[in-house]
Amino acid sequence: MVTVGIIATDVAAADSVNFQGISLWAVPLSFVGATWSAYRRRYRNIAAKFCIAIGMLIALAFFFMRLWTERNDTRLALALLLIHLQVLHSFDLPRRKDLGYSAVIGLILLGVAATLSQTLAFAPLLLLFLAIALPALILDYRSRLGLVSQSFTKIGLDLAPKRLGAVLLVTLSLGLTIFTLLPRMPGYQLRSFPVSSPIKLTEQFNSSTIINPGYVQDGQSGAGTATGSNKDNGPGTVDDEFYYGFNSTVNQNLRGTMKPKVVMRVRSQAPGFWRVLAFDRYTGQGWNISRNDESQVQTLQRPDWSFRFYLPSSVTLSKTRDIIQSYTLVANLPNLIPAMFEAKELYFPTQQAAIDAEGGLRSPVPLSEGLTYTVISAVPYRDRTLWRQSSTAYPPYIRDYYLQLPEKISPRIRQQTEQLLATSPKPLTTPSETALYLAQALKQRYRVALDLPFFSEDEDLVEAFLFKYAGGYPDHFATALTVMLRSVGIPSRLVMGFGSGEFNPFTGYYVVKNTDAYAMTEVYFHKYGWFALDAIPGHELMPPSIEESQTFGVIRQFWNWLAGWLPSPLTGLLNRVFEWMGTVLGELIAYFTQGWMGLLAGLGALTGLGFLGWLSWSGWQTWCYRRWLSKLPPIESVYQQMLRWLETQGFRKSAYLTPLEYARACSDRYPPAIARAIAEISQAYVTWRYGGQLPDLSHLKQRLKTMQHHRRQKPGRKPFDS
């Protein structure tokens, strides 16, 4: 069990940090120690114990040194300390209690591995641990009861493979059922977050530089460092590994596809769009960041004693919720730090970081495989009622950067946008209504092209999208929506990042691939901030955010699988029922969590529900009992009712007592009238059961009623004397 725990910790930790190789020396050394201690179990071993004590002090010193270097995530340091202690302890295992200590250490290591694991590689080791633990616990329990067999063959009768397999199957079935129904509550209740070991910089940090090794320059893969010198337009081919949009200048006149590859795993309290960077200036066939000079990108410095960067944030009237996300890189990425918008705290292993004018986070070094960092974001709620209250009195810094359009295309784009908005069945009087309708109209009226030709040198992307091809590539929809909104005076910008990815309910991580990267439009609502809209057909109008909870994510995935096998009308009906139940439950939770009155009302409601639940359960038990009695022969029904009454009085019939023995035992505990009634009913039951004689049922029922009536007349009387 300890061996499995060590290997599980090694495998799980390898997902996120460089922790390989522990099992290569710890496991064989533990076997050597256990063999030696078994050989020396009848000796005092004073010298060995003295050496073990010295080794434990050395392990403690090593633990404190590692604790300092990994002070923001101490799980691995603690796990390594346990492994060191267990290896040393394996050289001195003289008593049975050491078996319990070792089993608990194995269980603790397995628990640490469970918190570290980000893939399903941990699952087989969990099953192996369970398969070893069941027979070990059985043998230990037999030994404690003194059931020690002289022959291992006899012990094997209790450890038959079929029996152990059945117990293992039942345990797994119960565990999976509980796992499915268990709510996934938001984690990270403590403010100590996973961060990689500190990274020391070898050169000065230039905050304006974006390093994307896969960006295309003049059609050549990986030819540039993407510092802003790449061409704004012209034909080219996308890199098959790196997303083309992570750069200070983006050319959308590129063709090609990427090969799917997992790039990171994200543990988050809510799903979201892992935002990378945004663009404010449209170039005709792409975008760039106009404020990308080192003087316009703010460099941040963290203290030596903490990994936390405090990030500047904008003032908003929107209600926000803090969402904590931990990112683990599985592949190399540019020095752009993905995070949910709007980030307020960054826990990162470098001494410096940067934030640009569009809210994008930058690292001094490219994000390399194995890097782990954490972000806390103040994510705003998407309240359309508040959005309608936003005005068009935009401040100068919004008008100057987010309404820019090339003069050549502006009139024609505005005319097409107004014609499209005129198709609305009701007047669009606010910027939010206009933006939402326009995004939905693009989804419905334009298509995703699969074989789009290159744009000519003087051809505008949005004009070609609207008038020539009636569609384009997915990212072209975001560009078209952004430009069309600007043409009617609504500030907007293009944002690029990763979709949520695929949620793994067994690990709790979102698995994100390079093909999950895409572009959206962020729209500015005055005083309420920036909000993303997705115009790509087949996507939701707004990306997943804090409104979508994974509390019962496993049940939702199971239902989605089950719904695929059910008829559509039944699925639609059940979906409406579940949506109604979810809405009601959400409103109740929102009400019960508002202040003391809501809390008291919630406690009162829970108490009432508990009482109703108990009442319903009692009624169900009573109905089942009466239904069971109705199926019994009449005399047996009377006898069972008598036993039930005596059980409620505190004297239950033991299985080893015959009916007449039980009746004689009752004669000393109850008054004479009750004792005679018990004796008559018991004698009649035995005579019917074993002699086949039919008793006087009406008389026996009257005697049973006498017993119950006696209880009601004297409720304070004890059923028997002490």
| Predicted model pTM | 0.71
All residue ranges of the chain with pLDDT < 70 are 15-21, 71-73, 94-98, 148-159, 183-192, 214-232, 548-557, 559, 561, 586, 590, 593-594, 710-722
Percent of the chain whose predicted confidence (pLDDT) is above 90: 38
Residue with tokens 């009916």: 659
280 and 416 share one domain: no
In a domain, residue 610? The reply is: no
pLDDT tens readout for residues 124-152: 888 899 888 888 887 777 777 777 655 44
Which domain, by its residues, includes 642?
Answer: 632-713
In a domain, residue 99? The reply is: yes
Backbone conformation region of residue 119, classed left if phi is above 0, alpha if psi is from -120 to 50, else beta = beta
* 290-320: b (≥16 Cβ within 10 Å) or e: bebeeeebeebebeeeebbbebebeeeebeb
In a domain, residue 197? The reply is: no
pLDDT at 459: 92
As a whole number of angstroms, the distance between CA 183 and CA 268 comes to 15
Residue after which a domain boundary falls, among 98, 120, 148:
148
pLDDT tens readout for residues 161-206: 777 888 888 888 888 888 777 766 555 444 557 788 788 887 888 8
Picking from 641, 629, 624, 628, the residue whose alpha carbon sits closest to that of residue 700 is 641
In a domain, residue 290? The reply is: yes
As a whole number of angstroms, the distance between CA 491 and CA 530 comes to 10
In a domain, residue 719? The reply is: no
In a domain, residue 602? The reply is: no
DSSP state of 61: H
As a whole number of angstroms, the distance between CA 504 and CA 369 comes to 20
In a domain, residue 38? The reply is: yes
pLDDT at 508: 81
Picking from 85, 62, 65, the residue whose alpha carbon sits closest to that of residue 5 is 85
442 and 517 share one domain: yes
445 and 570 share one domain: no
CA angle 499, 504, 509 (to 5 degrees): 65
394 and 378 share one domain: no
List strand residue ranges (DSSP E) for 412-476, in order: 447-448, 471-472
344 and 412 share one domain: no
User: Among the residues of 286-382, which ranges form H helices?
Assistant: none
Is there a contact between 705 and 712 (Cβ–Cβ < 8 Å)? Answer: no
135 and 242 share one domain: no
pLDDT at 719: 44
Helix (H) or strand (E) holding 517: strand 517-525
Is there a contact between 409 and 429 (Cβ–Cβ < 8 Å)? Answer: no
As a whole number of angstroms, the distance between CA 576 and CA 582 comes to 10
402 and 255 share one domain: no
**Beta strand pairing status for 254-255 and 236-237?**
parallel
As a whole number of angstroms, the distance between CA 349 and CA 364 comes to 10
Residues 6+ apart with CB under 8 A from 438: 417, 420, 421, 481, 484, 485
Which 3 state secondary structure label does DSSP give 316? Answer: coil
In a domain, residue 215? The reply is: no
Residue after which a domain boundary falls, among 148, 178, 201:
148
Half-sphere exposure of 519 (CA within 13 A, CB side): 27
Q: Hey, what are 371's tokens?
A: 């890097």
- Domain of 477, CATH number, reads 3.10.620.30
DSSP state of 339: B
As a whole number of angstroms, the distance between CA 211 and CA 218 comes to 17
pLDDT at 106: 87
Is there a contact between 465 and 449 (Cβ–Cβ < 8 Å)? Answer: no
Residues 6+ apart with CB under 8 A from 297: 207, 208, 291, 354, 355, 356, 357, 362
534 and 395 share one domain: yes
Strand order, beta sheet including 361-362: 298-301, 352-355, 361-362, 336-337
Q: Hey, what are 479's tokens?
A: 């560009």
N- to C-terminal Cα distance for the chain?
50
376 and 429 share one domain: no
pLDDT at 192: 59
Report the domain count for the chain.
5
274 and 411 share one domain: no
309 and 402 share one domain: no
346 and 408 share one domain: no
